[in-house]
Amino acid sequence: MKRQIHILLGSSNIFGSPVVFFNNISTGMTEAIEEPIRGSILLMKRILYAASNSSTKLFGTISNGFAIWSMDETYLRRRDKEEKVKAKHIGQGLFLGGKGLAMGFLEGLGGIVYQPVKGAMQEGVFGFLKGIGKGIAGITVKPVTGVFDFAARTSEGIRNTNIHPERPRLRIPRYINPREPIREYSQDEAEGNFLLKQNQNSIKKSAGHSKMEYKFHMVLIVSLC
């Protein structure tokens, strides 16, 4: 267990998942060495993705930590509801981040007034005093939370703006016969159909056919002896 502590800490959102960050960078550097042109582009994408991913997790953890100190259950539930909507691109990230920033400042400033009033209505004098405490805590904590929410949401939008590095295909695309139900994946059929698609233009020229469909294929072993 002790040997795994550094892995657990490195993957933790508290530190922005540094293990994921360095794994992306190291993979990008390997790709850049193997394929200089395409790999260099992927390296830049991986750096941008890794940085924005780490920032999203780090700022999100910090903002959640500050939000708890607001001691406002209504505010916390509203934040939880907002966080369920994920930013799909940079535009949405800026919008959601700005919304979180505005909510932090408005909730913080407004809490000075409505928290004591709310407390007095619910619990009388004791509630009024407790509301003053919540209002003072909120005017400090909520705007700071909003700032980190803005940073986290913006980073999330950058991360999700179709910049994730290309993932290598694990297998050749499945062959699907348009006149039959979809069957279990067949490596032989997939390879045969793939070879036909790859060489379709040259086969059309030599055979004179305008349309070709894969049926089956055989491997011929020719002896040179």
Res 160: pLDDT: 87
Please check whether residues 182 and 103 belong to one and the same domain. Answer: no
Average pLDDT, rounded, for the chain: 78
Q: Is the pLDDT of residue 8 over 50?
A: no
* Structural domain contains residue 164: no
Last residue of a domain, one of 159, 188, 212: 159
pTM above 0.85, yes or no: no
Contacts of 116 (CB under 8 A, 6+ apart): 128, 131, 132, 135
The total number of structural domains that make up the chain: 2
Residue showing tokens 């986290």: 152
Residue pair 119/134 in contact by the 8 Å Cβ criterion = yes
Among 159, 185, 204, the domain-final residue is 159
User: Residue 5: is its pLDDT beyond 70?
Assistant: no
Question: Does residue 128 share a domain with residue 21?
Answer: yes
Is the domain of 103 the same as that of 190?
no
Is the pLDDT at 18 greater than 60? The verdict is yes
Residues 32 and 81 in one domain: yes
Q: In Å, how far are 70, 107, 126, 135, 144 from 67, measured between CA atoms? A: 5, 11, 23, 13, 9
User: 29 and 6 share a domain?
Assistant: yes
Domain of 185, in residue numbers: 173-225
Cβ neighbours of residue 168 closer than 8 Å, sequence gap 6 or more: none
